[in-house]
Amino acid sequence: MTPVKHIEKLPQTDEELLLAFKESGSQEVLAKLYLRYTDLVYGVCLKYLKDPEASKDAVMNIYHELLVKLLRHEVGNFKSWLYVLARNHCLMHLRSAKKMFTVEFDQSLMQSEDLGHLDAVMEKERDFLKLSDCIDELNSDQKQTIRLFYLENKCYNEITEMTGMDWNRVRSLIQNGRRNLKNCMEKNA
């Protein structure tokens, strides 16, 4: 990479600036070319990322990509090529953001000096016992469909095949069973 002494004397077309950059590797030449299109690049980034700060970061990151990619690629129309590069950069950014997800921290899974979480565990255990008692109080068809639907994760169609009951009857039994369980739980609260 040879230094460029006078940027004012450099050629002014995109093609001439590209050639000068490839010959010299000068960031000064690339910066002059890139500054012509930073508004375009920012607009593309803002369109895809919908965040001004992330778009500003992307404009800078795309410039750094240009330092490498322009030396490896033959570019006929710089403006069009830059538009596609900016769009692809934003799409890759969005894809990588989708792969990252936040996991909610569940304090009940952690041990601590505070034994208050044991009270919550004991309360849940009491609720499960009440629920089990309430399920036992349901009539046999409701009990059967509730167990299959909620405890064995069977769908309506599977329950109709297993029990031989009509689909609407299964739906009705589950809805009525759920209502009866709610009433029983509230009564025993």
Q: CATH 1.10.10.10: does it fit domain 7-99?
A: no
Q: According to the CATH classification, is domain 122-187 in 1.10.10.10?
A: yes
What letter does residue 155 receive in the DSSP assignment? -
pTM of the predicted model as reported, rounded to 2 decimal places = 0.48
Instruction: Report whether pLDDT(34) > 60.
Output: yes
What is the tens place of the pLDDT at every residue in 47-106?
999 999 999 999 999 999 998 898 888 888 999 999 999 999 999 988 887 766 566 666
H helices of the chain, where? Answer: 14-24, 27-35, 38-49, 52-72, 78-99, 116-137, 140-146, 156-163, 167-187
- 149-170 average pLDDT score: 90
**pLDDT for the residue numbered 10:** 47
- Asked if residue 159 lies in contact with residue 165, where contact means CB atoms within 8 angstroms, the answer is yes
Amino acid letter for position 63: Y
54 CB-near residues (< 8 Å, 6+ apart): 45, 93
pLDDT score of 182 more than 70: yes
Mean pLDDT of 139-156: 89
Q: How many CB atoms lie within 10 A of CB 63?
A: 16
Identify whether the C-beta of residue 108 lies closer than 8 Å to the C-beta of residue 56.
no
Domain boundaries, the chain: 7-99, 122-187
**Rounded alpha-carbon distances, angstroms, from residue 47 to 58, 114, 171, 178, 189:** 12, 49, 47, 48, 54
